Amino acid sequence: MPSPHIGLARRIFARLGFLLGLCLALSSGCTPGTEITKDREPRVSPTTSTLPIPTSASSPSGSLSATFPVTTPPRLPSAKTTSAPHPSRVASPTVTKAMSPVVYETSLSLMTYDYQSALLPTTPDDPVYPYPRLDHNKVGPPSPRTYRALVLENRYLQLTILPELGGRLYRWVDKASGHNLFYSNPVLKPTHWGIRGWWLATGGMEWALPLDEHGLSEATPWHYTIERHPDRVSVSLRDVEEHSGLVCTITVQLDDQHSYFTLIPQITNPTRDPVRYKFWINGMFSLGSPQAEAGLQFILPVDRVMVHSSGDKDLPGPGKLMTWPEFRGRDMSRASNWQKYLGVFAYPAITADFMGAYNHQTHLGVVRVFPHPITRGAKIFSLGDIPAAVWTDDESRYFELWAGLAPTFWDEVTLAPGQTVSWQEYWYSVNHTGGFTYANEQAALNLALSSTTVEVAAAVTSALEGPMRLWHNGRVTASWNVSLTPGQAFRRTLEIAPAQSAGVWKLELRDDRGRQIAMFREEIGRTTRWNAR
């Protein structure tokens, strides 16, 4: 814990750095609460504020004042064949009518407990200073409150950002299914979790800095800027974290060709001292189900994990290791096999460039693609037996996907004076793939083997035509010419004799120019994953 004087100096230098950033932004025509058009002429819109924003009287509580229709295409059936089929073209209709990406401001009404009147100021000797703590006994009942909302949308997805609540991504509507992939709590209710002794389980995706367990600024307003271009739109959220003095910027971008959203975190140390800190992205998901754990499978491409916390006495304790995905005969990738709450980290760090989850009941999945040498931390968490009344007033549930710079919550990273760390990652949905065993920013593949069947699937993030081939022991077993668009998975099941399952299997997807888009290879008892474009 730095001394109060060092902390004060850091905050002063951080503010100076922030003002310098504003000056630079002004010189380029970009200011908080403004939008930038293709001709670089700023259009002024209201800056971020904690004041309520009037909404239409016809807008229901918890819904945007502006809505857009989404289409739900029919599910593609899984065909079975007894032998390798001849190449065939599988057409995939467009998810929605073509549209340029758009971004606009609106408002969102949410039932909110009166926690602000129960906030307690802290002193410099408090580890969370200058952020407030909370007297839970003085929290008032919920009532409707209006929040500013920023909406980004293209033909495949719609995102909603709440800048007043930590700049979080609150909704992610997948237009192919019509579902919100995030968990969006219908009521903002302070829990006893978090490093401050309270945390709003708002839902969506939050940015935890500079400490673990949800950080310190997930409930404070963030500045934002909007940019518009013919082929892409973006919102940049910016906060001077007052405990460490670090400046955090999160840019969310949509383009006109892809079903993913691009996430660009950037953390800068404008102070004169090195800063040790933690940074984690926390995504809270439901994948279209109010009972998010039913049918849930975690995709974490490691063979060992470290336990963070658990209520299951049959599992190792905090800081201990366990095999993954199977541990003592239990498939721990399936949330249905979790008897209690559980959180685990990839150990010793994540070594692949993807992770995610898939719900086998809603047939929806979420994929995260990222540079693992930079973001080495990957954590999953599910609530298990914790009652929903802890965080909400209905029975809705969620699970969490965490992504951090350090491997675990117990580790830190250091940012030198004037240093910046930044990276780019991609998040997208998959539908009716049965899961995925490999993913990159262009496609997700699934190769599932049993003693009598081989199931293959592919989902893409932009329109693609080309061959997809299944190999067994160096020979092509099946081949298809596929025409794919986002939201429409290619999926087939082949029947095989039990003796044929042994050996090396490979699934690859190429484009119509022969370039390899994605490839997954599995050997019985051994699996490797890579992108060999």
Q: What is the pLDDT of residues 109-162, one digit of tens each?
A: 999 999 999 999 999 999 999 999 999 999 999 999 999 999 999 999 999 999
Q: What is the structure's pLDDT at 361?
A: 97
Q: What is the structure's pLDDT at 476?
A: 96
CA 60 – CA 109 distance, rounded (Å) = 8
Task: Select from 359, 492, 369 the least CA-distant residue to 442.
Answer: 369
CA distances from 183 to 63, 149, 201, 316, 330 (A): 14, 17, 10, 29, 27
Q: What is the structure's pLDDT at 37?
A: 39
Q: What is the structure's pLDDT at 512?
A: 96
Q: What is the structure's pLDDT at 10?
A: 54
pTM: 0.83
| 248 close to 167: Cβ distance less than 8 angstroms | no
The DSSP line for 49-118 is -SS-----TTSPTTSBSS------PPPPP-EEESSPPPP-EE----SS-----EEEEEEEEEEEEE-GGG
Q: Is 286 left (phi over 0), alpha (psi -120 to 50) or beta?
A: alpha
Q: What is the structure's pLDDT at 99?
A: 84
> Please, is 526 exposed, middle or buried when counting C-beta atoms within 10 Å of its C-beta (0-12, 13-18, 19+)?
exposed
Q: What is the structure's pLDDT at 22?
A: 46
Q: What is the structure's pLDDT at 285?
A: 98
Question: Can you list the residues of the chain whose pLDDT is less than 70?
Answer: 1-97, 525-533
The domains of the chain, with CATH numbers, are 4-35+99-429 (2.70.98.10), 79-98+443-530 (2.60.40.1930)
Q: What is the structure's pLDDT at 500?
A: 79
Q: What is the pLDDT of residues 164-188, one digit of tens each?
A: 999 999 999 999 999 999 999 999 9
Q: What is the structure's pLDDT at 56?
A: 30
Q: What is the structure's pLDDT at 72?
A: 31
